[in-house]
Amino acid sequence: MRGRRLSSIIASVTAHAVLMAGAVIMLTPFLWMELTSLKPPQEIFRLGLHILPREWGGAENYGRVFSDTPMLRFLLNGIVVCGAIVILQILIAVPAAYALAKIPFRGRGLFFALILVSLLVPIQVPSLFLYLGFARAGLLDSYASLVLPFIISAFAIFLLRQHFLQFPQEVVEAARLDKFGEFEIAWRIVLPSARPAIGAFAVFSMVAHWNDLYWPLVVVTDPEMATPPLGVVFFRNQESGSDFGALMAAATVISAPLIIAFLAAQKTFVRGLTSIR
Amino acid sequence: MTALSAQKRAEARIGLVLASPAILLLVLLVVLPVLATAGFSLTDYRLGTQTIGFAGLDNYGTLWNDPRFWQSVGNTALYTLIVVPGSVGLGLGAALLIEGRGWLRPFYRVAYFLPVASTFIAMAIVWEFLMNPSVGLFNQILFALGLPGINFFGNAQTALFSMAAIGIWELTGFNMVLFMAGLAAIPRDLYDACAVDGGESGWDRFRMVTWPMLGPTTFFVAIITMIRAVRVFEVAAVITQGRPEGATEVLLYSIYVQAFQYFNIGYAAALIVVFLVVTALIALVQARFGGGREASR
Amino acid sequence: MASITVSDISKAFSGQPILRDVSLDIRDGEFLSLVGPSGCGKSTLLRIIAGLEEQDHGSVEIGGRSVDAERPGRRDVAMVFQSYALYPHLSVYDNMAAPLRQRSLTQFQRGFGLARLLPKARRKEAEFRREIEATATMLGISGLLQRKPAQLSGGQRQRVALGRAIVRHPKAFLMDEPLSNLDAKLRDTVRAEISALHRRLGATFLYVTHDQAEAMTMSDRIAIIMEGQVLQIGAPSDVYHDPADLRVARFIGSPRINVLAGEIDGSGRAVLLGRAFDLDIAPPAHGKVQLAFRPHDAGLCNADTAQLVGTISHIENLGSDILIHLALPGSEEPVIIRESHETAIHRRLGDSVGLKLDSKKLLVFDETTGKRLRTPAQTETAS
Ligand SMILES: Nc1ncnc2c1ncn2[C@@H]1O[C@H](COP(=O)(O)OP(=O)(O)OP(=O)(O)O)[C@@H](O)[C@H]1O
Ligand SMILES: [Mg+2]
């Protein structure tokens, strides 16, 4: 028995050592970002390995982020764009998914086939045509061009349809017998049961669009309309790699909202982000 | 007409009404653009020129003969071939090690998942700084150890691997969480049966139970990772611009450059069609062979 | 084949004691059932014997040799799980081959399918094949060898699980409620088959169930566990007719045993609902006892001549027999009496009838400890 204990202790220590090393690698970029954002330039450029800041450069770095760029505007844009996308996606997907799952109508099969095909199409595919369209309509550099391409989410419809399919049909029929209208059934009876699924999707979509760089890069040239990722790219190009302290401060500022949300609601986050299963 | 069929028809009308905004938008924002893009790929359309001419498969011919296209395909493939096994393997390893690791488990989970919950482009810029040839942390460490530094993104030999390292860092925690869910679904009895049957080492348990039971999860995770890997874009677009010597030129970045910097619409459309075919093929592989997944859960 | 000796096993889960000083002696070739209510620690004990769980105190011997330091695979016992625990990705054949390969092939031969083509491994594989085919024939599953577990019915899976245990000729079989996932009818068939299997193999069987009828019909001996302790071990008829503890008496037997509160007076007579019965028992200090009797150990008689009188509150017709529930004034639970069809057929609900007790068959238990108090006559027959 003692041999077994000893070998299991060795296994456990090894596992922790490996996991710890992995965790350090995972966390290094975050730590280094924080630490650098607090260092003054001369310390960043001084050769030799030193980890903790000796002089305080935080105020200056973060000050520059907010004075040299419209950082608050970036964050606001991010919130407006992501919020609008998620809300519209849900408003459009819920009734469609409900109809797909619960109401037989002509063309339903075709519609569902269309959803399945659309799942295969990443944004980069329609982007060319959509860009030309927005350019012609004079809508580049606008919230409309940032939001509209994403308001239809085949994934949301697919996910919610699966969920509604699992909702017992007997309950829907009982409600019909009780003279509920179709709309009321959907809104008052089925929808509340889908709240967790909708929440998970909202997290997933929020994170995906907060992170999206491709489309903003295509339609936005005016810094006033930049989303946070595009904003930090503008800032990086403007600094042309000289002021790392301020750059890391900018990275910190735009990463902070998601990271704080994640740390505050880990379960919801993990469930949402892995809901693609 | 009976009352029932009248009611059925009314219902069907409501169904169509509920679905119609989605149908309309789907046609407008997905179907039409995809068809139009396929159409553009058969023309010589460039933004700024007045005329559009039918070009047949010329754009595809140009692609076929363009070494940069092949380089970009090759880079994307190599990136995928590094990132998929890397992040799937490390994700699986982390999930296996974390299983039953008591009180530190929540910490590891958060640490490994943090990259997934962060803003990727910001972290890519941090990585660029970490990999900076003179003041970056990595080279500072190498210098302190008396080793020569590495010009991570400046050297054609290392640039793509540096990019892949960032990709693995980003995706490992995500895959780990998927594997942890898969592990939790394995019945404990199977491990007991394996032990009674004479399975003694961790390797026996892995070979007899864990690995076969995780098969469908692994397949699914690999496909998901692959779809994400072929969409690699940010690092190439922001940090390397495909340099040096096209070593980090990847498919999406080529599309971006051709479409939105050179406004080579016809040619970019052909690239997009190629890209769509690649991603669709991966997804079809999943649809065809991944059916066992639902059943096994 | 081997005996199993369990001495003073204790086990607690997070401070909660589950097994308390459990000792058991399972003879070579014996079929011993562990019964007890859900959660009493039966599976835990079985898993400790198999080595899947580590005991806090005590030791386990298999075949006269301590196995405390040995891993499950080295203890040479086979286990049949309630869920069967078949490897879902392997065919029936490979499931049955798994323990054989695991034990007699090297790591290299096991790990690489190709290595099985080498002459040495091939000789062994041929042996395995003979063994597996013989076992499959015995269990009537030889037609299923190429199927996956998912393609089998519950009963067939159960047989494969048995087969996987049998092929390796273990020293003992440990079975944890192997029949509980089968429907009632199939359970009866498989129950008979397992008994036949035990006779045929002559191996040691330790069989966990919470179905007392299963234990009664199959076992050489039964061990009743409750609250982490072995209350009694004995042949089925012993635990039924001569229970050592009130909890055992209540657990074994269907319909349940009748229990009435009473007292033993100074002259060793039992006083029950105000009536005295000659028993000749040394009373416990306080004199309070519980008196129990099986439904077929009492009868009904005319109310006028009877010592105890009650009202019929319910009649259960079992077909062959009839159970009469009798509400006695002063007793909360009704007394259940088994009567033959002919005598019971004219009884009606609400009839007032007398209860006729046979004092020789009254089982007396100390009210506080629940331990059996035997009359001199009972002590004699027991020993
Ligand atoms: N690994 C464990 N950790 C904590 N508690 C456990 C563990 N295994 C069992 N227990 C507890 O120990 C007690 C006995 O469990 P056990 O499985 O041995 O019961 P059992 O007699 O087999 O019951 P059943 O007839 O329902 O199978 C239960 O209360 C159970 O909750
Ligand atoms: Mg049990």
Interval C243-282: pLDDT, tens: 999 999 999 988 899 998 888 877 777 787 777 777 767 6
Residue B31 lies in a domain: no
Return the pLDDT at B2: 62
Query: In angstroms, what is the span from residue C39 Cα to ligand 1's centroid?
Result: 5
* Nearest atom in ligand 1 to C14's CA: 4
Return the pLDDT at A277: 47
Nearest CA to ligand 1 atom 6: C13
pLDDT band at A269 (very low <50, low <70, confident <90, very high): confident
Return the pLDDT at B293: 41
In the predicted structure, residue B294 carries a pLDDT above the cut 50: no
State how far residue B67 is from chain A, nearest Cα, in angstroms: 23
Q: List helix spans (H) across chain C.
A: 42-50, 92-104, 107-111, 119-139, 154-166, 184-201, 212-218, 236-241, 246-251, 341-344, 376-382
CATH architecture of A69-274: Orthogonal Bundle (1.10)
Nearest CA to ligand 1 atom 10: C13
Return the pLDDT at A1: 47
- Give the number of C-alpha atoms closer than 13 A to the C-alpha of residue A232, restricted to the C-beta side: 31
Question: How much of chain C is helix, strand and coil, in % rounded to 5?
Answer: 35, 30, 35
pLDDT band at C382 (very low <50, low <70, confident <90, very high): low
Nearest CA to ligand 1 atom 7: C13
Nearest CA to ligand 1 atom 26: C38
State how far residue A28 is from chain B, nearest Cα, in angstroms: 9
CA distance C208 to B251: 63
Q: Who has greater pLDDT, A184 or B210?
A: B210
Interface contact A1-C54, CB threshold 8 A: yes
Query: In angstroms, what is the span from residue C377 Cα to ligand 2's centroid?
Result: 39
* pLDDT tens sequence across C56-103: 999 999 988 899 888 888 888 999 998 889 998 889 999 999 888 887
Residue B46 lies in a domain: no
Query: In angstroms, what is the span from residue A170 Cα to ligand 1's centroid?
Result: 38
Residue B111 lies in a domain: yes
For B:138-157, CB contacts with A below 8 A are 140-141, 143-144
CA distance A84 to A89: 8
Interface contact C83-B212, CB threshold 8 A: no
Mean pLDDT over each residue of chain B, to the nearest integer: 85
Residue B221 lies in a domain: yes
Q: Per CB distance under 8 Å, which residues of A are interface residues toward C?
A: 1, 3-4
pLDDT band at C188 (very low <50, low <70, confident <90, very high): confident
CA distance A219 to B110: 35
In the predicted structure, residue A110 carries a pLDDT above the cut 70: yes
Residue B60 lies in a domain: no
What CATH number does the domain containing B204 carry? 1.10.3720.10
The predicted complex's ipTM stands at 0.86
**Which domain covers residue B197, as residue numbers?**
67-296
Q: Are strands C65-66 and C77-80 parallel, antiparallel or unpaired?
A: unpaired
Bridge partners of C62, per DSSP, are C4, C65
In the predicted structure, residue A4 carries a pLDDT above the cut 50: yes
Residue B13 lies in a domain: no
Residue B54 lies in a domain: no
Q: List helix spans (H) across chain B.
A: 3-26, 32-40, 58-65, 67-98, 105-113, 120-130, 137-144, 159-184, 188-196, 202-205, 211-230, 234, 251-260, 265-289, 292-296
Mean pLDDT over each residue of chain C, to the nearest integer: 87
In the predicted structure, residue B297 carries a pLDDT above the cut 50: no
Interface contact B198-C99, CB threshold 8 A: yes
Query: In angstroms, what is the span from residue C202 Cα to ligand 1's centroid?
Result: 30
pTM, rounded to two decimals: 0.82
Domain boundaries, chain A: 69-274
* Nearest atom in ligand 1 to C53's CA: 1
Does C56 contact chain A (CB < 8 Å)? no
Query: In angstroms, what is the span from residue C44 Cα to ligand 1's centroid?
Result: 6
* pLDDT tens sequence across A116-160: 888 888 888 899 889 988 888 888 888 999 999 999 998 899 988
Domains of chain C, start order: 4-241 (3.40.50.300), 256-378 (2.40.50.140)
Kindly state the DSSP code that residue C152 receives in the 8-state scheme.
Answer: S
Chains sharing 3 or more CB pairs under 8 A with chain B: A, C
Work out how many domains chain B is built from and give that number: 1
* pLDDT tens sequence across A215-244: 999 999 888 889 999 998 888 888 766 788
pLDDT band at B296 (very low <50, low <70, confident <90, very high): very low
Interface contact B196-C52, CB threshold 8 A: yes
Chains sharing 3 or more CB pairs under 8 A with chain A: B, C
**Ligand 1 pocket, CB under 6 A:** C 13, 18, 36, 38-44, 210
State how far residue A3 is from chain C, nearest Cα, in angstroms: 8
